[in-house]
Structure 1
C-alpha cells in the first residue's frame, strides 16, 4: 500500500459531495476518465473499497463515508487557516467568525447577518455551517467568536444562553387531514407516516420523550439528519413531523403548521467565549440573531 496523494483525496471528496464522477470532474477541471482513475488509484493505494458500483453509479461504502468524515474534518481545519491568513493579511480588527448549525444556515442566518452588517458595514464576516459539536469545539479553541447550536455544552471557556424558546409544532403537507384540527396531539400522529430526525439527535430525543410519556410510539417511515431535509420531505407530501418553527422558514407556504399539544419547548443556544476579543461585534450579532429569530417565528406562526 502507498500513501494517497492530495489529488486522489480531492477527487474522492468531490465525488462524495457532488454525487457523481462527472460533476466531480467538472469541479476539479479534469476529464471524467481522469477523475475515475484517481478514485481507482486511491482504492488501490489504501487497500479500501470506498465505493460500491451499482448500475453505473458509485455509492459510498461505510468505510468510504468514515474516510470522508476524516477528510472533511481536515479540510475544514485548512479552510480555517486560510481564513486566519486572510484576516491577518487584511489587518482588519472588525471581523466576526460565526458558527451555525446547518438547520439554521439558511434564511435565519441570512437575516441576522444582514441586520448585523447594517450596524457594522465595514466588518468582515465568516459563516461556517457545522454540527453543534464542531461549533462547540471551535469555540473552545477560539476559532469562532460566536455560535448557534442545539445541544447543551458546559465548558469553562465559553457561555451559552437561549436564543429563542418555542414549542415544537406539527408540520404537514398542504391538504393533510390534520390541517382541520386546531391542535395536534401524539395520539393524532400515531397512525401517520412520521418523518423523524436521526435517532439520538437533540430534537428527536425530545420528541421520543413526549410519545413515551403518553405510552405511544410514532410510525417512523423516514428519518434525516438535517432539518432542511426533514422539512423538504414534509413539503413533498411524504409524511408529517414535529419541528421547531425556526427551522421551517425554507418551506414556508409549502407546508401547514399546527400547534402541538402538549407544548414541548425546544431551545437553540447562543454560545461565545467568556473573553471575546471583539465583544462589541459579538453583542451586536447576538442582538440581531434574537430579532431575526423572533420575526421569523412570529411570521410563520401567524400564517
Structure 2
C-alpha cells in the first residue's frame, strides 16, 4: 500500500461532499477526468473500494465513508492549527477586548474605534454589547480589558473614570411645534406624548425627578428599555423624550434637539483593571473615548 497524497484526500472529501465528480472537479479547480483519476489512484494505493459506480455517479461505500470521516477529523485539526497561528499573529500585533452598554453600541462606539484604529490599525479589537452589570463582572474577572458602563462602580481592583458626557437634551420629531423654542422645561413638555425609558433606568429616575420638582408628571405613551428603541420611536413621530446625547446619536439626522432645563447630568464610566493587560492600548482607547464624547453629533 502506498500512502495517499494530500491531493487524493482532497478529492475524496470533495466527491463525498459535492455528490458528483463534476461538482467536485469545480471545487478542486481541475478537470473532471483529473478528479476521476485522483479517486482511482486513491483506491489503487489503499487497496480499498471507496466508491460504487451508480449511473455515472460515485456513491461512497462504508469503507469510503469511514476514510472520509478520518480525513475530515485530520483536516479539522489542521484548521484548528491555522486558527491558532492566526491568534498568535494577532497577539503579536496586540488585541483589545472591550465591552459597551447597548446604548453606546451604535454611532458612539464606532466613532471611538475610528479614532483608536487610526493609531493602531493592526490591533485586533473585540466588542461586546451587554448590560452594565454583566460588563462590570466581566472586567472584574479580567475577561474584558475595558468597558463603558453607567457610573457607580467602586472596587479596589479597577479604575473607574467618568466620561465627559454633555447634559441631557430634549429630542423631538422633525417639524414638531416645540422646535421653535431654543430651551424647554417640564412645563412645555407635560402635555406632550412622552417616550420614556424603563422605570429602573437612571435616565427615567432623573427625568421623573425633574418633573416632580415642577409638580408634574410626563404623559408617557410608550416605554422602552433601550436607548435605540426610544430614539427610533421619537424619530418616527410617536412622541418626545429626554435623553443623553451619546445614546441618541443613532437618529441624529432624523430628529430636532433642544436644551432641557433644569440641566440633567448623565455620566458613563470607563472601567478597567488596575493592572490591565495591554495597558498602553487601554490608555489609548480611553483617550479616544473622551475625544469621541466631545464630538457628539446630537447637540442643541
Q: Say if 1:116 and 1:285, in contact at 8 Å, map to a contact too.
A: yes
Q: How does 1:270-285 map to 2 (within 5 A)?
A: 270-285=270-285
Larger of the two Rg values belongs to structure: 2
Long gaps (5+) in structure 1: 1-83
Q: Counterpart of 1:300?
A: 298
3-state SS, counterpart of residue 183 of structure 2? coil
Q: Counterpart of 2:209?
A: 209
- CA shift, 1:118, in A, is 1.4
Q: How does 1:76-87 map to 2 (within 5 A)?
A: none
Number of residues of Structure 1 aligned to a counterpart in Structure 2: 217
C-alpha distance after superposition, 1:248-267 (max 9, x if no partner):
22111211100001111111
- CA shift, 1:90, in A, is 4.4
TM-score (norm 1): 0.68
- CA shift, 1:102, in A, is 0.5
Q: Go from structure 1 to structure 2 and tell me whether the alpha carbon gap of 1:192 and 1:264 turns closer, same or farther (over 3 Å shift).
A: same
Q: Counterpart of 1:193?
A: 193
Structure 1 residue 102 corresponds to structure 2 residue 141: no
3-state SS, counterpart of residue 298 of structure 2? helix
Q: Say if 1:160 and 1:271, in contact at 8 Å, map to a contact too.
A: yes
3-state SS, counterpart of residue 247 of structure 2? helix
Cα distance between partner residues in 2 of 1:181 and 1:208: 22
Q: Say if 1:132 and 1:151, in contact at 8 Å, map to a contact too.
A: no
3-state SS, counterpart of residue 248 of structure 1? helix
Cα distance between partner residues in 2 of 1:301 and 1:91: 38
Q: Counterpart of 2:137?
A: 137
- CA shift, 1:165, in A, is 3.0
Q: How does 1:63-74 map to 2 (within 5 A)?
A: none
Q: Go from structure 1 to structure 2 and tell me whether the alpha carbon gap of 1:190 and 1:119 turns closer, same or farther (over 3 Å shift).
A: same
User: Which consecutive segments of 4 or more residues in structure 1 shift more than 2 A?
Assistant: 84-91
- CA shift, 1:211, in A, is 1.4
Q: Say if 1:151 and 1:202, in contact at 8 Å, map to a contact too.
A: no
3-state SS, counterpart of residue 217 of structure 2? coil
Q: Counterpart of 2:230?
A: 230
Q: How does 1:142-157 map to 2 (within 5 A)?
A: 142-157=142-157
Cα distance between partner residues in 2 of 1:203 and 1:130: 18
Structure 1 residue 92 corresponds to structure 2 residue 91: yes
Cα distance between partner residues in 2 of 1:86 and 1:255: 48
- CA shift, 1:300, in A, is 2.6
Q: Say if 2:169 and 2:299, in contact at 8 Å, map to a contact too.
A: no
> RMSD of aligned C-alpha atoms?
1.8
Q: Say if 1:102 and 1:131, in contact at 8 Å, map to a contact too.
A: yes
- CA shift, 1:274, in A, is 0.9
- CA shift, 1:218, in A, is 0.7
3-state SS, counterpart of residue 175 of structure 2? coil
Long gaps (5+) in structure 2: 1-82
TM-score (norm 2): 0.69
Cα distance between partner residues in 2 of 1:282 and 1:265: 26
3-state SS, counterpart of residue 115 of structure 2? helix
Q: Counterpart of 2:49?
A: none
Cα distance between partner residues in 1 of 2:210 and 2:86: 46
- CA shift, 1:158, in A, is 0.9
Q: Go from structure 1 to structure 2 and tell me whether the alpha carbon gap of 1:213 and 1:86 turns closer, same or farther (over 3 Å shift).
A: farther
